[in-house]
Structure 1
Amino acid sequence: MIAETVAEALEREHREIDEGIEEFVAGLAAGEPDPQPLARAVAALRRHIYLEEEFLFPPLREAGLVMPVFVMVREHGQIWKILDALDAELRDGAVAASAAGLLQELQDQLQAHNMKEEHVLYPRSEQVLTEETKAGLQELIDTGRTPEGWVCEGAR
Structure 2
Amino acid sequence: MSAIDTLVEQHRACDARFADCETAARAQDWALALSHFQAFRREMEAHFAVEEDALFPAFEAASGSSMGPTRIMRMEHQDMRDLLEDMDEALAAQHLQAFLGLNDTLLILMQQHNMKEENVLYPMCAQALPEMAELIAEGAQP
Under TM normalisation by the shorter chain, which class is it? 0.7 to 0.9
Moved more, 46-55 or 28-37: 28-37
SS of 2:68's partner is helix
Task: Please provide the CA RMSD for this pair.
Answer: 2.2
* Aligned residue number for residue 79 of structure 1: 80
Instruction: Give the letter for the 2:87 counterpart.
Output: L
Instruction: Give the letter for the 1:107 counterpart.
Output: L
Higher helix share: 2
Instruction: Give the letter for the 2:22 counterpart.
Output: V
Give 5+ residue unaligned stretches, structure 1. 146-156
* Aligned residue number for residue 6 of structure 1: 3
1:130 deviation in Å? 4.4
Q: How big is each residue's C-alpha offset from its partner over 1:75-107, in whole Å with a ceiling of 9 and x where there is no partner?
A: 1111111122234456xx434403112111111
* Aligned residue number for residue 36 of structure 1: 35
Counterpart contact for 1:59–1:128, Cα < 8 Å: no
Instruction: Give the letter for the 1:14 counterpart.
Output: H
Taking structure 1 as reference, are residues 22 and 115 closer, same or farther at Cα in structure 2, changes over 3 Å only?
Answer: same
Give 5+ residue unaligned stretches, structure 2. none
The CA distance in 2 between the partners of 1:14 and 1:30, in whole Å, is: 25
The CA distance in 1 between the partners of 2:139 and 2:57, in whole Å, is: 16
Q: TM-score, normalised by structure 2?
A: 0.82
Counterpart contact for 2:56–2:70, Cα < 8 Å: yes
The CA distance in 2 between the partners of 1:103 and 1:89, in whole Å, is: 10
1:27 pairs with one of 21, 24, 40:
24
* Aligned residue number for residue 99 of structure 2: 99
1:114 deviation in Å? 0.5
Give runs of ≥4 in structure 1 deviating > 4 Å: none
Q: TM-score, normalised by structure 1?
A: 0.76
Counterpart contact for 2:41–2:84, Cα < 8 Å: yes
1:124 deviation in Å? 2.4
The CA distance in 1 between the partners of 2:88 and 2:73, in whole Å, is: 22
Q: How big is each residue's C-alpha offset from its partner over 1:107-146, in whole Å with a ceiling of 9 and x where there is no partner?
A: 1100000000001111123233343x632522543xx34x
The CA distance in 2 between the partners of 1:62 and 1:95, in whole Å, is: 45
How many pairs are equivalent?
A: 137
